[in-house]
Structures are given as C-alpha cells and as structure tokens.
C-alpha cells in the first residue's frame, strides 16, 4: 500500500496548478503595467539567457521544461521582437545558439524587479520555513514525474 492514498479529487487544485497559474497571470499583469511588452513564456526563455547567453535551443528546452516546437516558436517570436538572434554554431551546424541583443540585455534589470515584486506579493504572510518545504515538495513531485 502506497504511503499516500487520497480521497477522490482531494488534491484537485494541486493538480490543476491554480497557484502557479495565478502567479504567472500576476507576473504578466505586472510586466504590462511596468511597460514590459513580453509574455511570461518569453520571459522564462530570456531568464535563462540572462543567466547564460548563447544557449542552444535544446538547452532552452531542458531549462524551461518545454518541448522543441515550443522553443522554436518562442525564439521565433523573440527574434521578431528583436530581443534575441539565432546564430548557427560553427562546430555543429545542426545547432542554433540563441544570443541576446542589446535590447534583450536591457530588459533584464527591470523584469527582475517586477518578478521579485510579484513573488513578494504572492508569498506575503507565508513564513520562510513553509516556503522551503513547499519548494522541496514541488521539486520532489517534478523529479517523480520527469
């Protein structure tokens, strides 16, 4: 017998991710109000490029938990917005490295502030130790299923 057995649908909200949806929506709204005209999905790609510029599309798949077509199209849109550009790798011409443009780099500071403010709104009145446990559980869930 498994160590956890649940009543019907007990964890519905867990499964449907209403909290993460709410955070994503609020982040989107806060970015728009701050005059930042990108989607949260585009933000999640830029986020990894800010940490490490020149990642391949496959790297971005792994980092963002999205499939290859999703990344292809997110990079398409980011290119249209002139925030990144694709550069075919010299060593392996199958690979597109994705580089930030000047404009893409400029977005970092303002969006990070918006992201952190959004998280502070979301986690207001949640004690730090419970946040840690929550992060831990979500990580295990992810690892169990990946």
Partner DNA sequence: GGCATATAGTTGTTTATGCAACTACTCAAA
Partner DNA sequence: TTTGAGTAGTTGCATAAACAACTATATGCC
Task: Write out the residues near a second copy by the rule CB under 8 A.
Answer: 2-6, 8-9, 11-27, 40, 44, 47, 51, 64-65, 112, 115-116, 118-128, 130-131, 133-142, 144-146
Task: Name which of a second copy, DNA, none residue 36 binds, using a CB cut-off of 5 to 8 Å depending on partner kind.
Answer: none
Q: Check the CA dihedral 108-45-48-144 and report its sign.
A: positive
Q: Pick the binder of DNA from 57, 84, 111, 114 (CB under 7 A).
A: 57
The answer for residues whose C-beta is within 8 angstroms of residue 74's C-beta and 6 or more apart is 41, 42, 45, 60, 66
- 41 sits near DNA (criterion: CB under 7 A): yes
Q: How far is the CB of 132 from DNA (least distance, A)?
A: 27
Task: Name which of a second copy, DNA, none residue 103 binds, using a CB cut-off of 5 to 8 Å depending on partner kind.
Answer: none
Residues 69-98 that bind DNA (CB under 7 A): 69-77, 86, 91-97
Residue 3 is given by DSSP the state S
- 58 sits near DNA (criterion: CB under 7 A): yes
Q: Pick the binder of DNA from 36, 48, 66, 117 (CB under 7 A).
A: 66
3-state secondary structure 73-127: HHHHHHHHCCCEEEEECCCCCCCEEEEECHHHHHHHHHHHHHHHHHHHHHCCCCC
Q: Does residue 17 sit in helix, strand or coil?
A: coil
Q: Pick the binder of DNA from 13, 18, 20, 21 (CB under 7 A).
A: 21
- Residue 83 exposed, middle or buried by CB count within 10 Å (0-12, 13-18, 19+): buried
d(CA 119, CA 115): 6
Interface ranges with DNA (CB under 7 A): 21, 25, 28-29, 39, 41-42, 56-58, 61, 66-77, 86, 91-97
């Amino acid at each position: 017998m498994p160590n956890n057995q649940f009543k019907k649908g007990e964890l519905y909200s867990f499964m449907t991710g209403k909290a993460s949806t709410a955070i994503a929506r609020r982040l989107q709204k806060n970015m728009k109000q701050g005059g930042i005209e990108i989607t949260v999905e585009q933000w999640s790609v830029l986020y990894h490029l800010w940490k490490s510029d020149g990642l391949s599309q496959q790297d971005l798949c792994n980092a963002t938990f999205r499939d290859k077509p999703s990344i292809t199209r997110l990079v398409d849109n980011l290119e249209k917005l002139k925030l990144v550009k694709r550069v075919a790798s010299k060593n392996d011409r199958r690979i597109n490295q994705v580089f930030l443009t000047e404009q893409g780099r400029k977005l970092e500071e303002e969006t990070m502030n918006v992201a952190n403010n959004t998280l502070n709104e979301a986690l207001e009145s949640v004690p730090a130790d419970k946040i840690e446990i929550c992060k831990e559980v979500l990580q295990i869930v992810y690892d169990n299923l990946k």
